[in-house]
Structure 1
Amino acid sequence: MRLFETRPGDDGLPGRERKLAVLALVTGTLMAVVDTTMINLALPSIAADLAIPASRAVWITNLFQVVCAAFLLVFAGISELMTRRRLYLFGLGLFVLASVGSALSTQLETLLVFRALQGLGAAATLSIGPSLYRAVFPSRLLGSALGLSALVVAGGYAAGPTLSGVILSFATWPWLFALNVPLGLSALCLAWFALPRETPRQGSFDTLGALLSIAMLASFFLAMDAVGHAAPLWQSGGWAVLAVGAGVGFVARQKRAAYPLLPLVVFNELRFSLAVSASGLAFVGQGLTFVALSFLYQQEMGFTPLETAWLFTPWPLAIMLVGPVAGRLADRINPGLLSSTGLLLLIAGLVALALVDDSTSVLNSLWRTALCGIGFGLFQPPNNREMMGSLPRERSANVSGVMSTTRTVGQSFGVALVGAAMAAGWPVQATLWLAGFTTLLALVVSVARFPLAGRAMAAQQASSASD
């Protein structure tokens, strides 16, 4: 298989070791992604079993997401001091232990504590996942590796709701958490033996920057959650003010810290900045669409939650099929061209979905969702390749943290926009048009980096030819 071939002059791991390392990364990522989607579907069952209202049960998901989002940049910085291998092992181990605690919980308060620890473990693994792919694979296969990563994440999103429904049909909700234990232990063993060992960076840790980062991201997520649930203005506004204040302090700290948590110099590379901007806007559009379609399918078209989950399936399935191909093509074709083509298809799919009404058939809805998935699958791996490949390898951990944070912030902002739009009386279809507009902005940004990406690709191909 091309991904595991070893050629003279390759960086990364040799072929056999590469297989084991990839298996560890795939297992760990699947565990975190599937867990999130499974628990979302199980919230009504958990609420009934613990005798709590739905308004409190949602914090079983929200707390996990807040903690995970708040610590992404922090763990990316910590990885330089304790190495990515050790941080990944720590994250997996913590996630497994917290899963055991969640499965054994009989009260909401105990479950929330362990869900917070699960979020912490997930942040440790997800913050450095993309950079580990770069450490494992040679540079010539970076696009293919990130395409594989997109396939794994999309597969987790596709399988999670179905797997949750199957398990809950014959077992209770604690078994959803218990499922993580054998998967996590397998990933731990593989990661222990297969992940590359590194030399830790010498120097201090930006503790103040880390605290400001946690405050900034946690407050932003809580503000977006408050907007999405139409909370009082003082509540969402208060969190937003705290997020902005912590953000200003974070930027000021990064400019003068000896070892900044996020070196702002990385944004001087225009290819990187444009790829980050395109990614953030595209994820805003995806966040908008996912929530808007939930209301469209259930409230206007009369589908059940489980039927709605099936209607979403073509999106991640299309990413699973297209993502690896797009990643492989990005190793040979201008990634900006591929990403922009994907965004065009995504816009076409969003416009088609915005035209759906209660008379639209199921099959007529499915192809529109699939078109969105094809577009996103063609966009994401080449764009991620641009982010990861535009900076030196020693910046991989920083890039990985930015990638994960951009995805989380973009999706959260999209979800909040849906809540705000519907609170203002917008019809569901209007929010889908808004998703198309944000994706159009992403396309404008993506097209702007055509020349830069083309020159970088030509330079890489010339270098490969000389080797």
Structure 2
Amino acid sequence: MEADSGIPVPQRYWAIVVIALGITLAVLDGAIANVALPTIARDLHASAASSIWVVNAYQLSVTISLLPLASLGDRIGYRRVYIPGLALFTVASLGCALANSLPELALVRVVQGFGAAGIMSVNTALVRTIYPANMLGRGVAINAMVVAISSAVGPTVASAVLSVASWPWLFAINVPIGVIAVAAALRALPINPGHETPYDYLSAIMNAIVFGLLIFTIDGLGHSEDALWLIAQALGFVVVGYLFVRRQLTRPAPLLPIDLLKIPVFALSIATSVCSFCAQMLAYVSLPFLFQNVFGFNQVQTGLLITPWPFAIIFAAPLAGVLSDRYSAGMLGGLGLLALTIGLVLLATIGAHPSPLAITWRMALCGAGFGIFQSPNNRQMLSSAPRDRSGGASGMLGTARLTGQTVGAALVALIFGVAPERGPSIALAVAAAVAGLASLVSLMRLRTSHSTVSA
């Protein structure tokens, strides 16, 4: 079919570069702000607790708007969501750099998050329009590799920028890159037809309430907030969530893609993604504490010891992408996540005085395992959806990643609160258990008969 033929070279190369630039900016900006929080709080005369909103405002606006924007992309075309999202992100980055107070910065971060959601909601759907069907795994692999590396190197990039410049430059450097990416996107990104189904604004509002309450409940649990307030939030999530799901069951193209979740292999791929990103975040947050507070390495050494994980992804993800065009995602994902599980177990039980080499190869094993899992998993999620629902599949992919990361971060906070002395080792053990669960869920796909659905 013509729809499966992608776009010609060299436009394809320019298009994937634009996708990579946009997703790098969106994911990296979600990670770098953590490192700068103490500096931002001091410069803007704000408390450490209130400065957390620099991170939370961004994460919240991204999460609540991913699925509504993905649904909008299915309706009006993915290019028409991606390019405005990239432009809004670029303008908001300038606003962040010019902010003079914490409330002002938090407000602009909300706007920046909406722009990032425009990028992340349809980026994999665009990959499906860029690459021919027989090369889809390679395109998804590039996308997955960029997401993984951007998440991993965020703290390192932030530290490097802050060593030579003030915190506003963390946001200002996005502006020229964003301008170039928007100009290139206008020329390179393909136009895909949408559909005439009226947009479901009520579902978009309900979606924002459901995911907002979910994030606040999980975050509050991790930080041991008032029990009654947590129960109220959880009840609100359950009640609105129930009404939201009931509404989606009546829609022909639901904003929450319940129609796609009825496809067994898609549902299993989503579950695998949530568990794997939860395990990854458990490790990412706890490892710096293990290296510095337990093993006695300094901040620079810690950054170097974390580097093998994303570097291994660089090599593993493209290979897995090629293999995913030939072999089952269930098998590749299961084997990759098994390698991640083994690596995490070895890190959790490494002993009190490990050498840098002993840490390095264990980190590389974790990264390689994660890289082998991610590309085939994303490819199967995307290819198992009908072509006219690619936006919904893309939005669920991003939502699964953010949900897993949010739960993982909350679990680390909870573990550190209960067992501060042994927190890092316990968190790594929990991460290994969750990664092992993800491996089993991935292997369940081998028993699910599946044929790629295309419109």
State the TM-score, normalized to the length of structure 1: 0.92
RMSD of aligned C-alpha atoms? 2.1
Amino acid paired to 1:333: Y
- In the alignment, which residue of structure 1 is the partner of 2:68? 74
Q: Which runs of 5+ in 1 are unaligned?
A: 1-6, 461-467
- Matched with 1:220 is 214
Identity of aligned residues (%): 38
- What SS class does the counterpart of residue 383 from structure 1 fall into? helix
CA contact (8 A) 1:99 1:118 kept: yes
**Are the counterparts in 1 of residues 257 and 393 from structure 2 also a CA contact under 8 Å?**
no
Amino acid at match of 2:307: T
Alpha-carbon distance between aligned partners in 2 of 1:162 and 1:75, rounded to the nearest angstrom: 30
On the 8 A contact 2:28/2:151 being kept in 1, the answer is: yes
Aligned 1:169-248 pairs, distance under 5 A: 169-248=163-242
- Correspondence 1:11 to 2:2: no
Distance verdict in 2 for CA 1:12–1:212, change over 3 Å? same
Give the alignment partner of residue 435 of structure 2, picking from 434, 439, 447.
439
User: Which whole-Å deviations, capped at 9, do the CAs of 1:286-343 have from their partners, x for residues lacking one?
Assistant: 1222222233223322344444333222111111110011011110122211111101
Kindly provide the CA deviation profile for residues 62-102 of structure 1, in whole angstroms up to 9, marking residues without a partner as x.
Answer: 11011111111111111123321011111011101101111
The equivalent position to 2:124 in structure 1, one of 130, 136, 158, is 130
Structure 2: any 5+ residue segments left out of the alignment? none
In the alignment, does 2:419 pair up with 1:448? no
Distance (Å, rounded) in 1 between the aligned partners of 2:230 and 2:3: 53
Question: Aligned match of 1:30 in 24, 30, 39?
Answer: 24
For residue 137 of structure 2, the aligned residue among 123, 143, 146 is 143
1:204–1:259 Cα contact (<8 Å) kept = no
Name 1:430's counterpart in structure 2: 426
Q: Tell me which residue corresponds to 1:42.
A: 36
| Distance (Å, rounded) in 2 between the aligned partners of 1:186 and 1:171 | 23
**Deviation for aligned residue 1:9:** 9.3
Contact 1:224/1:415, CA 8 A, preserved across alignment: no
Q: 1:247 to 1:9 in 2, by over 3 A?
A: closer
Q: Which moved more, 1:290-299 or 1:406-415?
A: 290-299
TM-score in terms of structure 2 length: 0.94
Change (3 A) 1:423 1:159: closer
Q: 1:19, CA displacement in angstroms? A: 1.2
* Matched residue, 1:465: none
Q: In the TM superposition, what is the alpha-carbon distance from 1:391 to its structure 2 partner?
A: 1.9
Contact 2:74–2:390 under 8 Å retained in 1: no
- Provide the aligned length of Structure 1 versus Structure 2: 452
Q: Summarize the alignment of residues 66-465 of structure 1 with structure 2, pairs less than 5 Å apart.
A: 66-425=60-419, 427-428=422-423, 429-452=425-448, 456=451
Secondary structure of 2:197's aligned partner: coil
The answer (yes or no) to whether the contact 2:83–2:182 under 8 Å persists in 1 is: yes
Separation (CA, whole Å) in 2 of partners of 1:417 and 1:346: 19
The letter for the 1-side match of 2:442 is S
Taking the aligned partners of 2:150 and 2:404, their CA distance within structure 1 comes to 19
Letter aligned with residue 21 of structure 2: T
Given that 2:74 and 2:392 are in contact with CA atoms closer than 8 Å, whether structure 1 keeps it comes out as no
Mark the CA change 1:10 to 1:221 in structure 2 (over 3 Å): closer, same or farther: closer
